[in-house]
């Protein structure tokens, strides 16, 4: 072999090793916290009386072919994360009592959950909460699980060191409940510091418990959701951006996200050994509304499942209730039931997070397979 050929061979070999070596390791478990954007069944097991339809078709119809307690027609962002890392889909915490194993992670998220404790909202006469459970309760569940899965402190340290923690999305319901009862954007802005502080405090608790790599997501562009467009829509064209979303409500999401990112920066200084990743859910989702055809969407604001109205969201005939029906091809829709997104939308968001550029910094271990 000539010197030239040997050089070429060595260059190719080095490039190959460089490309595969990051995948030689991966996360051994994922622990998820949050609300209905991440819940894989806790709310359904806990108490589904406030939203019983998630236990019936058409919820879960596409991938699972049956309802699972997920607030969508199929998989969620956290499901795509598990698949990308070759892990089983995360069981809901409340399923552990039925003998489900927790070795590859657990999902503590609860649909309807708030970041701030429920008693705060009751003190403000906000009584439409789906559940009394908050992020604090989810942390308590994690501490229970940790005590069971770790034989020794050393074992726990090593196990959690290679586990990924996804702290949210959470906080959306802290704003949804007051908004739906007529709260103004100005009033809700005053709540942002408390919501962000609660998320940051929970993240610090997890780090103290041994978490080393954590994802903290921001909020989605709520001004693009069918429920917000229905409730707060206006004939004033100036209220909408070029995508057709409500500008002021999207600006609110950006405000929350900006405050969250600043708080994460401070937390990184407090815990320099931990990798705290901001996940830009807003940016990953906004692409779907800005260039829908590029992602195969022909319906971006109208809900796939609902009971009529300009955006197919009718509170008296919500998805799964009498008078509602589901679309035939959910893959062409971004909105699922007006409040949540379709599996296809979550898939694109997950890809933007896993493959970039919507996580900052990027994940330590790239996904072991494409989703």
What is the average pLDDT value for the chain, to the nearest integer? 92
Q: Place 147 in a pLDDT band, splitting at 50, 70 and 90.
A: confident
Count of alpha carbons within 13 angstroms of residue 100, beta-carbon side? 18
Contact status, residue 118 vs residue 132, Cβ threshold 8 Å: yes
Position 13 pLDDT exceeds 50: no
Q: Average pLDDT in the 202-208 region?
A: 98
Find the helix or strand (DSSP H, E) in which 136 lies.
helix 135-149
| 325-326 and 305-306 strand pairing | antiparallel
- Please confirm, yes or no, whether 337 is among the known catalytic residues: yes
Structure letter (DSSP) for residue 55: G
Among the options 39, 241, 280, 337, which is catalytic?
A: 337
Q: How far is CA 151 from CA 31, 93, 95, 139, 335, in A?
A: 18, 19, 22, 20, 44
Contact status, residue 150 vs residue 156, Cβ threshold 8 Å: yes
Whole-number pLDDT of residue 279: 98
Whole-number pLDDT of residue 50: 67
- Please confirm, yes or no, whether 35 is among the known catalytic residues: no
- pLDDT tens-digit readout, 22-41: 444 799 999 999 999 999 99
Among the options 48, 134, 280, 340, which is catalytic?
A: 340
Whole-number pLDDT of residue 18: 35
Sheet holding 163-167, edge to edge: 105-107, 29-33, 163-167, 213-217, 275-279, 359-360
Q: How far is CA 245 from CA 130, 172, 233, in A?
A: 26, 17, 9
The dihedral formed by the CA atoms of 44, 222, 220 and 167, expressed in degrees to the nearest 10: -50
Whole-number pLDDT of residue 245: 98
What is the distance of C-alpha 204 from the center of its chain? 19
Q: Place 48 in a pLDDT band, splitting at 50, 70 and 90.
A: low
Angular region, 249: left φ>0, alpha ψ -120 to 50, beta rest? alpha
| 163-167 and 29-33 strand pairing | parallel
Total Cβ atoms within 10 A of residue 303: 32
Position 14 pLDDT exceeds 50: no
- Tell me how far apart the alpha carbons of residues 1 and 218 are, in angstroms, rounded to a whole number: 55
**158 vs 62: which has the higher pLDDT:** 62
Q: Place 161 in a pLDDT band, splitting at 50, 70 and 90.
A: very high
Superfamily classification of domain 27-226+247-291+341-360? SGNH hydrolase (3.40.50.1110)
Contact status, residue 143 vs residue 55, Cβ threshold 8 Å: no
Q: Average pLDDT in the 155-162 region?
A: 89
Least confident of 44-53, 66-75, 184-193, 198-207: 44-53
- pLDDT tens-digit readout, 100-132: 888 899 999 999 999 999 999 999 999 888 999
- pLDDT tens-digit readout, 253-286: 999 999 999 999 999 999 999 999 999 999 999 9
Least Cα distance to 110 among 60, 13, 55, 45 occurs for: 45
- Please confirm, yes or no, whether 39 is among the known catalytic residues: no
Whole-number pLDDT of residue 10: 39
- pLDDT tens-digit readout, 53-80: 999 999 999 999 999 999 999 999 999 9
Whole-number pLDDT of residue 330: 98
- Tell me how far apart the alpha carbons of residues 190 and 172 are, in angstroms, rounded to a whole number: 15
DSSP conformation letters of 229-282 = HHHH--S-GGGB-TTSSBHHHHHHHHHHHHHHHHHHHHHHHH-TTSEEEEE-HH
- Tell me how far apart the alpha carbons of residues 73 and 77 are, in angstroms, rounded to a whole number: 13
What is the distance of C-alpha 363 from the center of its chain? 16
- Tell me how far apart the alpha carbons of residues 15 and 225 are, in angstroms, rounded to a whole number: 44
What angle separates helix 343-354 from helix 77-84, to the nearest 10 degrees?
50
Contact status, residue 121 vs residue 132, Cβ threshold 8 Å: no
- pLDDT tens-digit readout, 220-252: 999 999 999 999 999 999 999 999 999 999 999
Among the options 32, 36, 253, 324, which is catalytic?
A: 36
Q: Output the pTM of the full model.
A: 0.92
Count of alpha carbons within 13 angstroms of residue 31, beta-carbon side? 27
Q: Average pLDDT in the 165-183 region?
A: 97
**Where along the chain do its domains lie?**
27-226+247-291+341-360
Position 17 pLDDT exceeds 70: no
């Amino acid at each position: 072999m000539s010197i030239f050929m040997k050089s070429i061979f060595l260059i190719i070999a080095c490039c190959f090793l460089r490309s595969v070596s990051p995948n030689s390791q991966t996360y051994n478990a994922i622990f998820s916290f949050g609300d209905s954007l991440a819940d894989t069944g806790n709310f359904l097991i806990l108490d589904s009386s406030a939203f019983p339809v998630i236990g019936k078709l058409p919820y879960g119809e596409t991938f699972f072919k049956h309802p699972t307690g997920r607030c969508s027609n199929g998989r969620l962002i956290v499901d795509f994360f598990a698949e990308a890392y070759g892990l089983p889909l995360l069981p809901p915490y409340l399923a552990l009592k039925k003998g489900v194993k927790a070795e590859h992670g657990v999902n503590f998220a609860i649909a309807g959950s708030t970041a701030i404790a429920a008693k705060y909202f009751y003190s403000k006469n906000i009584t439409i909460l789906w559940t009394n459970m908050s992020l604090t309760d989810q942390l308590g569940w994690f501490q229970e699980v940790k005590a069971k899965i770790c034989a020794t402190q050393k074992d726990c340290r090593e196990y959690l060191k290679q586990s990924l923690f996804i702290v949210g999305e959470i906080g959306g319901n802290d704003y949804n409940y007051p908004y739906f009862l007529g709260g103004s954007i100005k009033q809700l802005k005053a709540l942002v510091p408390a919501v962000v502080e609660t998320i940051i405090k929970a993240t610090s608790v997890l780090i103290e418990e041994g978490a080393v790599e954590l994802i903290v997501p921001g909020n989605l562009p709520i001004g693009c959701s069918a429920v917000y467009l229905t409730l707060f829509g206006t004939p004033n064209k100036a209220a909408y951006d070029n995508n057709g979303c409500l500008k002021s409500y999207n600006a609110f999401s950006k405000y929350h996200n900006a405050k969250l990112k600043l708080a994460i920066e401070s937390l990184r200084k407090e815990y320099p050994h931990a990798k705290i990743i901001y996940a830009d859910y807003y940016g990953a989702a906004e692409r779907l509304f800005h260039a829908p055809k590029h992602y195969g969407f022909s319906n971006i604001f109208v809900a796939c499942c609902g009971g009529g109205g300009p955006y197919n969201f009718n509170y008296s005939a919500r998805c799964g209730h009498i008078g509602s029906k589901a679309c035939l091809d959910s893959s062409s829709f971004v909105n699922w039931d007006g409040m949540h997104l379709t599996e296809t939308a979550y898939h694109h968001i997950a890809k933007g997070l896993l493959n970039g550029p919507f996580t900052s910094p990027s994940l330590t271990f790239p996904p072991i397979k494409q989703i």
